[in-house]
Amino acid sequence: MTEGNFVDYVKIYASSGKGGKGSSHLHREKFIEKGGPDGGDGGRGGHVTLVGNKNLWTLFHLKFLRHAKAGHGGDGGSSRSTGHDGEDKFIEVPLGTVVRDKDTDEILFEITEHGEQRILVKGGKGGLGNWHFRSSTNQTPRYAQPGMPGQEIDVILELKVLADVGLVGFPNAGKSTLLSVLTSAKPKIADYPFTTLKPNLGIVAYRDFQSFVIADIPGIIEGAAEGKGLGHYFLRHIERNSTLLFLIPADADDIKEQYEILLDELRRYNPEMLDKDRLVVISKCDMLDDELKAEMKAQLDKDFKGMPYMFISSVAQQGLQELKDKLWQMLNTEA
């Protein structure tokens, strides 16, 4: 999937169908002069329903869907025949889709399971036919209920990527390169900041045909929690990751300072992110000789005090299997 086809934010106006009106028909038949009421009920209006689909990874197919309208219910007929129900409108969305009311910004619900169906707007109820209003004192009612009107709503669909591991780091830290060597994903890679503008997903093949999903999140800058840079457009994707991998290049001026800045941005955006498992990975370690790496380890032991860290090189393919083992262990260890 190309980067331009990754859409994680769409606005949709949804309207359900109105209910059909009940019939006020009176029975007419040869030799039966006064057959009485036999008007049927109106059919209900169609619903607009969201359906989870695990095979979708983006909202791109909804990019040009401005209006989602369901069908209207049919009117009731004679002989107590009920009108047809309005045609439902089904909208498939990827797992991790959050539905938000555009006017109030209230979260209505989330789609997290394959095949899960949630009604966005219900169709109007069909009106009752005059058959229901007959009585001993009113044997030929000539009235029936109209159908209930449909509902309408403006909603925002936001996709929060469902991945096991989220790659967190400054722009140009090597996240896309790491993703490309751990998985079969083909993210855009270049030697300038903000190469990645949308999250990239990749499946890491592990031992015994097992796997886990890793997401390359666009680079964080200071002030991202307030919306600077790509701001909230990518921070929401980290909320669903159970493990965060902080990627910091070995040639960084101050590794601990970079880690603290990244951590502070996550804390300011959502303090609950600090409850996730964290792993610090020092990339581009092929630039370090043994002596320099030993000095760096001694300093990191002081700075991180028990926080797990690793050295890798995506280009030189160093430490990648150990990284997979560590991530698998973190993902499958009971909290």
Would you state the pLDDT for residue 186? 55
Residue 166 has pLDDT above 60, yes or no: yes
Asked if the model's pLDDT at residue 225 lies above 60, the reply is no
- Weakest mean pLDDT among 25-34, 84-93, 289-298, 300-309: 25-34
Task: Give 249's Cβ-side CA count (13 Å radius).
Answer: 15
Q: Are strands 117-121 and 48-53 parallel, antiparallel or unpaired?
A: antiparallel
For the chain, the structural domain boundaries read 3-159, 165-331
Count CB neighbours of 16 within 10 A: 30
CATH of 3-159, one of 1.20.272.10, 2.70.210.12, 1.10.1040.10, 3.40.50.12160: 2.70.210.12
As a whole number of angstroms, the distance between CA 174 and CA 177 comes to 5
Task: Decide if pLDDT at 60 tops 80.
Answer: yes
With CA atoms as reference, report the closest residue to 90 among 57, 49, 134. 49
Are the C-beta atoms of 17 and 45 separated by less than 8 Å?
yes
Query: Side chain identity at 220, as an amino acid letter?
Result: I
**pTM greater than 0.75 (yes/no):** no
- In this prediction, residues 178-190 reach a mean pLDDT of 64
The percent of residues above 90 in pLDDT, for the chain, comes to 34
Mean pLDDT of the chain: 83
333: confidence class by pLDDT, cuts 50, 70, 90: confident
- Residue 296 tokens read as 């760096």
Q: For residue 249, which of 290, 296, 284 has the smallest C-alpha distance?
A: 284
On the question of a common fold for 3-159 and 165-331, the answer reads: no
Closest-CA residue to 39 (of 79, 83, 73): 79
> What would the CATH number be for the domain defined by 165-331?
3.40.50.300
Is residue 229's pLDDT more than 60? Answer: no
